[in-house]
């Protein structure tokens, strides 16, 4: 007689801790960018090695998986980059790895995916991050969209051009004028510059050896920022996606290269090993929207998550919103009744200043939020959120372990 299988035992969901995140300086894509002669996988290797260097209390063999995102998974961003980068970084061969893609939210999805494994008990510790070398691999390189997507009008052709989706968002929300977008962009540049001067941005950066026609050098700071940007200088920029449009190179993120990575762990395991706990994950959510206005995606993703967690937008004390386009951030803020100059929103500037290497950006948001939490024990909850190509949004809510109960 065959044995009766045992019923699975119920298990408690474990608390997921964000230990630390790091990133390379972000570069401008193209032949003149700092990473023109640097491989994408080497950027990831640098990030993984830095995480291990900063945390000698973490035995490398205790890493249960390595999830690395890339939007264009080919060439030096292909070959299951999570596994190959883990091998190149010197992790034991027993440590597996994989690649993941959700366009701009790749690193965010790498984090939420390994977090699910940690919460379920499949992992204790994992590394998650992302890379994009847009100089070597422009968005859309080598893709072959099914012709029915456009021919059968499943989506408007503009959905495949991110700048056009931003113009569509301006159309949908006429109160978000070009002037407002430029004001927000200038604010992002100013806040980023102030954060660098104050030493708030810099400690998370991993120096990268680079090579150019001048020889070898060291990348130690972000290349894209334009300090001193004013609304007046932005007003005269061309609108490449539409004649007399509202989206310009000044109120949108550029084309960039860079990599990010973070250590995620079960909180109990982290404390046993002596790893710091910078944030606790409260929950995450992804949502779909019309691809033609993909920039509005963070709104339903956030609403969905607030409902699931029982929180309200008033419970959130800090916001890290990816600045793919100024209009996209403003659509989120207007929806929730938040002023565009609110100091809780991107207090250290954002992607309009420092850059947006697509699949890597989610962990940049998380890394900055974790560092802001340490400065603000009066804040209990924070959000990282971003729009995603093809009509999606993603949001993660985090809890501050340093919260002292004095405010939110």
Active-site amino acid positions? 104, 356, 387
Residue 185, token pair as written in the block: 């962009």
CA–CA separation, 172 and 165 (whole Å) = 10
Q: What are phi and psi of 361, to 5 degrees?
A: -70, -30
CA distances from 19 to 25, 54, 249 (A): 20, 11, 35
Helix ranges, 74-161 (H): 81-88, 106-120, 147-151
CA–CA separation, 284 and 288 (whole Å) = 14
Residue 114, token pair as written in the block: 């390994």
Residue 340, token pair as written in the block: 């565009």
CA–CA separation, 194 and 360 (whole Å) = 23
CA–CA separation, 44 and 47 (whole Å) = 5
Place of tokens 């390379």: 24
CA–CA separation, 337 and 72 (whole Å) = 36
SS3 167: helix
Burial 192-225 (b: 16+ CB within 10 A, else e): bbebbeeebbeebbbebebeeeeeeeebeebbbb
CB half-sphere exposure, 175, CA atoms < 13 A? 7
CA–CA separation, 166 and 188 (whole Å) = 18
> Are the beta carbons of 274 and 57 closer than 8 angstroms?
yes
């Amino acid at each position: 007689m065959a044995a009766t299988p045992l019923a699975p035992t119920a298990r408690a969901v474990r608390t997921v801790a964000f230990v630390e995140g790091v990133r390379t300086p972000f570069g401008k894509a193209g032949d003149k960018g700092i990473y023109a002669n640097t491989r994408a996988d080497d950027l990831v290797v640098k990030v993984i090695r830095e995480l291990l260097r900063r945390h000698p209390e973490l035995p490398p063999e205790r890493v249960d998986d390595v999830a690395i995102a890339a939007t264009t998974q080919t060439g030096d961003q292909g070959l299951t980059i999570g596994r190959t980068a883990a091998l190149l970084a010197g992790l034991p061969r027993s440590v597996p790895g994989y690649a993941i893609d959700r366009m701009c939210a790749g690193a965010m999805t790498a984090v939420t995916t390994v977090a699910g494994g940690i919460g379920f008990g499949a992992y204790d510790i994992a590394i998650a991050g992302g890379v994009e070398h847009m100089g070597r691999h422009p968005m859309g390189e080598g893709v072959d969209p099914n012709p029915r997507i456009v021919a059968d009008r499943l989506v408007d052709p503009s959905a495949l051009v991110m700048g056009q989706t931003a113009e569509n968002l301006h159309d949908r929300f006429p109160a978000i004028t070009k002037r407002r977008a430029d004001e927000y962009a200038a604010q992002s540049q100013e806040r980023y510059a102030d954060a660098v001067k104050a030493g708030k941005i810099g400690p998370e950066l991993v120096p990268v050896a680079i090579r150019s026609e001048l020889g070898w050098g060291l990348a130690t700071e972000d290349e894209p920022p334009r300090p001193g940007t004013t609304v007046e200088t932005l007003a005269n920029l061309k609108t490449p996606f539409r004649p007399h449009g509202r989206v310009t190179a000044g109120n949108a993120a550029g084309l960039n290269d860079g990599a990010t990575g973070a250590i995620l762990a079960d909180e109990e395991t982290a404390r046993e090993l002596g790893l710091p706990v910078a944030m606790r994950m409260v929950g995450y959510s992804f949502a779909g929207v019309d691809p033609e206005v993909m920039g509005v995606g963070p709104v339903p993703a956030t609403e969905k998550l607030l409902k699931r967690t029982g929180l309200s937008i008033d419970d959130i004390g800090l916001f890290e919103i990816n600045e793919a386009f100024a209009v996209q951030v403003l659509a989120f803020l207007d929806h929730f009744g938040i002023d565009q100059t609110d100091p809780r929103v991107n207090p250290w500037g954002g992607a309009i200043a420092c850059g947006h290497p697509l699949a890597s950006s989610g962990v940049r948001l998380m890394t900055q939020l974790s560092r802001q939490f340490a400065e603000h024990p009066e804040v209990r909850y924070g959000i990282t959120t971003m729009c995603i190509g093809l009509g999606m949004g993603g949001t993660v809510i985090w809890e501050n372990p340093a919260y002292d109960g004095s405010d939110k």
